[in-house]
Amino acid sequence: MGEAERISEHVWRLALPSDTLPPYDHVNTYLIASSGVGALVDPGSFDAGALSATRAALAAAGVRLLKAVFLTHTHRDHTGGLQTLLEAEGPLAVYVHPLEADRLQGTTGIVPLGDDRRITVGDVVVRALHTPGHSPGHLSYLLPEEGVLLLGDLIAGEGSTWVGLPEGDVSAYLASLARLRGLRPRLLGPGHGPVVRDADRKLADSAAHRLERERQVLTALAGGPETLSELRRKIYPSLPDSAVTLVEGSLLAHLAKLMREMRVVHLGEDVSGPYALRR
């Protein structure tokens, strides 16, 4: 684990080991610090050295009071180090969207955080934004004065993030990307991978990638009904067995969107299909 990367005047990135989806092997924990006050975003690392690395970052940023933890969502690769942090640093407010707060049962200091709430960290204002799509209670955190947007698993620093059932919602995901793009952030802090400095292009590319996958689903169904496994083989002809469940979850999320839009119908009795274009 290296030193924290300072990405703006009041934000640092710590890339900490995490059990997450490939190609990544780390989670980005962000430190927001101002006037001796700090807050951490997504303390997700189980690694024994993560707490020491976090404390070193707090000291380097001049933090005398760690005020809170902000969670983008509650997947384990973003919350894995939370309990260790709370036990080591004492009582902290843990901000999480109400739709996911019940997943943290037994955690002290839970504060439900809804859309468009503003919280101060020292002299810095942090604006919470409800950005579902990857998970139902996903939050992104904007520092308006710096144009920094910490957006968890809405994007990945390189490549694309996963949006799949049972929690993923492609329609909500596209709406979240459009909302964030309208805020015109300068810099994106993803949950995994490097920071993104061409923010508008990354948000646009992430939406385009999802719409291209939708086009592929519709093209595959143009020749007639297909089961989920047949769709997967057509769209992903070379796929390791270890990725089948994730890929099929992603395809199901696309199919759910298309069925809500009355563009695809489900002809089967379970998720295996078959599925067909609506005529």
Reading phi first (left if > 0) and then psi (alpha if -120 to 50, else beta), residue 19 is in: beta
Spatial separation of the C-alpha atoms in residues 268 and 67, rounded to whole Å: 52
Spatial separation of the C-alpha atoms in residues 279 and 89, rounded to whole Å: 60
263 secondary structure, DSSP code: S
CB of 138 within 8 A of CB of 72?
A: yes
CATH of domain 5-211: 3.60.15.10
Q: Which two tokens stand for residue 28?
A: 């980005």
Is 217 strand, coil or helix?
A: helix
Which residues in the chain land under pLDDT 70?
1-2
- Whether the model pTM is above 0.75: yes
Q: Which two tokens stand for residue 195?
A: 């920071």
pLDDT at residue number 3: 85
Spatial separation of the C-alpha atoms in residues 21 and 201, rounded to whole Å: 24
